[in-house]
């Protein structure tokens, strides 16, 4: 198993419980140090993708979002209620959104219908999915976004988020307790090769890291996320899809005292959001400030080296950008006992700047599983869809 994010760790747990001995590789010293450990954990039902009015993205995200809780609770052996942001999420439409208000309104209603009619709608949180979305009244809007005239409208969405930090801790414990999973951490994967070139993608395989060649392995699942295509191309699984790698920073804040803060996201396009997981743990992002590098090659571009002063300035820009629209988030920052500025990769099929309505990145329906022989490459698409994808991968190898 290549990659100890939510995709690789979920697949490893499923495969181990199917009787496989699993070796889990990651370059980091612990699982969940990549994007799975540092994201805002929205369990997407499709509401944010009004720039894909054909509902392709909503349909592709929906099943994984609805099943996330059930699958993760099965894998972790207990409730994830403690990770869950208890409130509905507020979606705010920015003046510079790539989709205009009447179109967003119509889209939100169509997604509500889609969600309600899904056979798994009842498996989301407390029947939230069946309630559908509601437009905010002018008074509700003014209470949340009183930062000038940049916000044109808003909806209360039934979507929930989970703390990726909380989920990470539980996965690390579940993996440690699973005797069939052997973790090879701190090892950067450089290549995968068939043991015998004539076997091709039917395996067995060796995994090459800086420490040398490891194996043989009868199955390889590549769940590396950034740079995944480089390993695929090297072993002969091509062509590489048209990918964009973007490295984004966000703030993870723990406050000394409880702070009442709504969960709100400004879109559609390159904007930002605030998440409250309970009343003392928060996520703050402002996309135009947080995005530091972007590239279109199969390998991710090099990261800029940020010294302490640059990191502090970046954190300030994220807070200022968000607070300009949602002034209440300053109370979160003012009450901070601990602030972590953390970045990670967003990898998505598609190209183009988010302020362009025709950019391919406004669609998120082109992810999934590629399998040839006994080599599998997983583009999990989202945190919310990853456990569902992992279950699909494991099902391919049930019974040997
Ligand atoms: C700021 C931000 C906010 C986001 N918000 C959301 C959200 O609200 N909802 C949502 O659903 N999704 C969100 N996402 C996307 C989400 O984080 C990812 O889709 C998801 O975590 C991908 O999981 P993964 O396991 O496939 O990859 P990862 O978690 O990235 O795991 C891949 C692992 O592979 C390792 N690795 C990479 N290359 C190598 C190598 N060569 N050798 C060894 N190890 C390697 C990495 O260290 C990493 O641990 C967000 C992403 C970002 C960056």
CATH superfamily to which 1-41+163-241+366-400 belongs:
FAD/NAD(P)-binding domain (3.50.50.60)
Whole-angstrom Cα distance, residue 32 to residue 210? 21
Find out if CATH 3.30.450.80 is the number for domain 86-159+244-357.
no
Output the DSSP codes for 239-294.
PPP-EEEEEEEEEEEEESS-----EEEEESSS-EEEEEETTTEEEEEEHHHHEEEE
Give nearest CA residue, ligand 1 atom 35. Answer: 3
Question: What percent of the chain is modeled with pLDDT above 70?
Answer: 100
Domain parsing of the chain, residue ranges:
1-41+163-241+366-400, 86-159+244-357
pLDDT of res. 143: 87
Q: What residue ranges of the chain have pLDDT lower than 50?
A: none
- Residue 25's pLDDT is 98
State pTM to two decimals: 0.96
Q: What angle do CA 106, 358, 268 make, to 5 degrees?
A: 50
Alpha carbons 26 and 225: distance in angstroms, whole number:
11
**Would the CB of 51 count as within 6 Å of ligand 1?**
no
| Sign of the C-alpha dihedral computed for residues 148, 151, 153 and 155 taken in this order | negative
The CA distance from 396 to 375, in Å, is 11
Please count the helices (runs of H) and the strands (runs of E) in the chain. 11, 17
In testing the pocket of ligand 1, which one of 75, 225, 243, 390 has its CB within 8 Å of the most ligand atoms? 225
8 A C-beta contact, residue 229 and residue 60:
no
Which residue's C-alpha comes closest to atom 9 of ligand 1? 42
pLDDT of res. 147? 59
Q: Residue 120 C-alpha to ligand 1 middle, in angstroms?
A: 26
Q: How far is CA 94 from CA 58, 91, 98, 172, 322, in A?
A: 21, 10, 9, 38, 12
CA of 307 to the centre of ligand 1 (A): 24
| DSSP state, residue 10 | H
Beta strand segments in 21-126, E: 22-26, 89-94
Contact 50, 103 (CB under 8 A): yes
Contact 322, 224 (CB under 8 A): no
Among 50, 46, 36, 45, smallest CA distance to 7 is for: 36
Q: Which residue in 111, 108, 147, 92 sits closest to 267, CA to CA? A: 92
Q: How far is the CA of 106 from the centre of ligand 1 (A)?
A: 32
**pLDDT number for residue 337:** 98
pLDDT (tens digit per residue) in 365-392: 888 999 999 999 999 999 999 999 999 9
With a 6 Å cutoff on the Cβ, whether 383 touches ligand 1 is yes
Atom of ligand 1 nearest to the CA of 285: 1
- Tell the residue nearest (CA) to atom 1 of ligand 1: 39
């Amino acid at each position: 198993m290549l990659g100890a994010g939510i995709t690789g760790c979920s697949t490893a747990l499923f495969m181990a419980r199917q009787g496989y001995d699993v070796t889990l590789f990651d370059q980091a010293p612990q699982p969940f140090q990549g994007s799975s450990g540092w994201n805002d954990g929205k369990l997407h039902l499709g509401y944010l993708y009004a720039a894909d009015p054909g509902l392709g993205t909503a349909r592709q995200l929906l099943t994984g979002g609805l099943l996330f809780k059930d699958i993760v609770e099965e894998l972790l052996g207990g409730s994830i209620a403690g990770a869950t942001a208890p409130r509905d999420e507020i979606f705010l439409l920015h003046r510079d959104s790539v989709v205009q208000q009447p179109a967003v309104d119509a889209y939100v209603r169509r997604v509500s219908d889609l969600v309600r009619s899904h056979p798994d709608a009842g498996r989301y949180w407390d029947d939230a999915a069946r309630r559908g979305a509601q437009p905010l009244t002018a008074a509700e809007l003014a209470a949340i976004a009183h930062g000038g005239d940049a916000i044109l409208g808003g909806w209360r969405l039934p979507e929930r988020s989970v703390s990726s930090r909380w989920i990470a801790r539980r996965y690390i414990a579940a993996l440690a307790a699973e005797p069939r999973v052997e973790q090879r951490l701190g090892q950067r994967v450089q290549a995968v090769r068939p043991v015998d070139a004539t076997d091709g993608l039917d395996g067995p395989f060796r995994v090459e890291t800086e420490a040398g060649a490891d194996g043989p392995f009868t199955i390889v699942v590549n769940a590396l996320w950034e740079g995944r295509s480089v390993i695929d191309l090297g072993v002969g699984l091509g062509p590489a899809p048209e990918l964009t790698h973007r490295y984004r920073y966000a703030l993870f804040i723990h406050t000394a005292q409880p702070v009442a803060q709504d969960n709100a996201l400004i879109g559609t396009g390159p904007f930002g959001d605030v998440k409250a997981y309970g009343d003392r743990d928060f996520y703050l992002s402002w996309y135009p400030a947080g995005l530091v590098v972007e590239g279109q090659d199969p390998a991710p571009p090099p990261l800029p080296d940020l010294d302490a002063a640059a990191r502090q300035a970046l954190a300030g820009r994220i807070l200022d950008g968000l607070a300009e629209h949602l002034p209440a988030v300053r109370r979160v920052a003012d009450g901070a006992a601990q602030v972590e500025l953390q970045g990670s990769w967003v990898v998505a099929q598609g190209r183009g700047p988010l302020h362009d309505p025709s950019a391919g990145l406004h669609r998120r329906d082109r992810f999934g599983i590629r399998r040839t022989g006994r080599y599998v490459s997983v583009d999990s698409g989202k945190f919310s869809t990853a456990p569902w994808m992992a279950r699909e991968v494991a099902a391919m190898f049930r019974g040997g």
